[in-house]
Amino acid sequence: MRHIKQTFIGILASCLISTSVWSQTQIDSSKIVKVLSFNILHGKTMKGDFNLDVIAKVIIDANPDFVALQEVDYKTNRAKKYDLVTELGWRTKMTPLYGRAMYYDGGEYGEGVLSKTTFLNTRNVPLPYISGDEPRAALEITTVLHSKDTISFIGTHLDHLKLDTNKIMQAKEINNVFSKNKYPTILAGDLNAEPNSNTMAILENFWTVSYDKTYPEPTFSSKNPTQKIDYVLFHPKHKWKVLETRVICDTIASDHCAYLVTLQLLD
């Protein structure tokens, strides 16, 4: 494991878009996986008060099995020396994992994962970037569902610059590294790329997207969502079925909406 730290231990806006294609009574609940991607603005909230309970409430209300957190600070000065993923793990009663992308402001900055299950394995994969730009990472857990199936779950946050050079390199590296996975895999995060971008085209050479391409539900900003940049993807295609997607926009918790996807693991 590289650069990984693990600890065991609000006003909801009117913007909530949901698409659903399932009836829970028809499906083995042990094979249902709810995934949330949430960029948490380094814990600051839109009020600048670092009220982590507001962020935790979005997660608790969504009731996911796995959460990919982006903009996660670890004991930085700007985030009041909070270990954000551990704080949110404690508040949500989920198992937290942190993976460093870079040292920053007296601490670190990177990815976070929250899980209702414990981990078989974890790894933090550094992603390529042009020297002088921000480092990025992809944080992976391997875990066992209640159905006894083993899966992998990855959280990531791609480069934010308008020029897509870094994003393209990072997308290619994600495909290269995780195409070797033994188990069915979910990738979630803020990809800083819109649906028809070069970055998404590269990722879709390997991954399958969860959103309805006839209407890409916007996820940014939380106050006025006009762009889709937060995603849940999966592989292999024949092992997963999308049951529901939901965009949850809390205008206080973060500048991003949270993106919730319910998947069924197929036999």
Confidence (pLDDT) at 117:
98
Confidence (pLDDT) at 14:
40
Confidence (pLDDT) at 78:
98
Q: Smallest Cα–Cα separation from 206: which of 159, 174, 241, 166? A: 174
Going along the chain from its start, the domains and CATH numbers come out as: 4-265 (3.60.10.10)
Q: Which residues of the chain are under the pLDDT cut of 70?
A: 1-25
Confidence (pLDDT) at 20:
57
- Tell me the C-alpha distance between 246 and 259, whole Å: 6
Q: Smallest Cα–Cα separation from 13: which of 190, 263, 227, 258? A: 258
pTM: 0.92
Instruction: List, for residues 185-243, the tens digit of each pLDDT value.
Output: 999 999 999 999 999 999 999 999 999 999 999 999 999 999 999 999 999 999 999 99
Kind and range of the H or E run holding 140: strand 136-144
The residues near 106 (Cβ < 8 Å, ≥ 6 apart) are: 75, 76, 77, 81
Decide: residue 213, CB within 10 A, 0-12 exposed, 13-18 middle, 19+ buried. exposed
